[in-house]
Amino acid sequence: MRAFTSNDRRRERRDQVVHARFSKTEIERIEHAAEAAGMTVSGFLRSLILEGAGVRPFLTDADRAVFSLLLSDIKAVGVNLNQLARARNRGETGQLQDEKKMIDDVQRVVAIVLFELLTFAERGARRRVGSV
């Protein structure tokens, strides 16, 4: 299955209509979300549907690779924190230097994850507005 390019979307006339039922609350939420994204409701829903169906996936292979690496880092930090917690629960006091390093590792991983998520969110908003 071939992914759509922006040229395909510009050339192809959108003359097909899909009907869906929403509650009043649901449609208000959709309208608010579309407005927040700077899009029409139609464009907003089209973008979400195409991404959800995998026609235009939100995450690329490179994105998935980044998440895989981050997951490995998070697991390693989690193991270290568990070891620290067990030692503390046994009444052992660890080296202050080691504990500080673990806390620094946690802060580093959290900062990287937040940065990546913000990057994905900004890219998603740009893709939605620019190509739908």
Q: What is the DSSP letter of 3?
A: P
Quick one: pLDDT band at residue 26, thresholds 50, 70, 90?
very high
- What is the spatial distance between Cα 117 and Cα 99, in angstroms, rounded to a whole number? 27
pTM, entire model: 0.48
89-102 average pLDDT score: 80
Say yes or no to pLDDT of 21 above 90: yes
Q: What is the dihedral of CA 117, 118, 120, 126, to 10 degrees?
A: 160
Say yes or no to pLDDT of 30 above 80: yes
pLDDT given for residue 132 in this prediction? 44
- What is the spatial distance between Cα 18 and Cα 77, in angstroms, rounded to a whole number? 47
Tokens of 97: 């230097």
What's phi and psi for 35, nearest 5 deg? -65, -45
Say yes or no to pLDDT of 1 above 50: no
19-30 average pLDDT score: 94
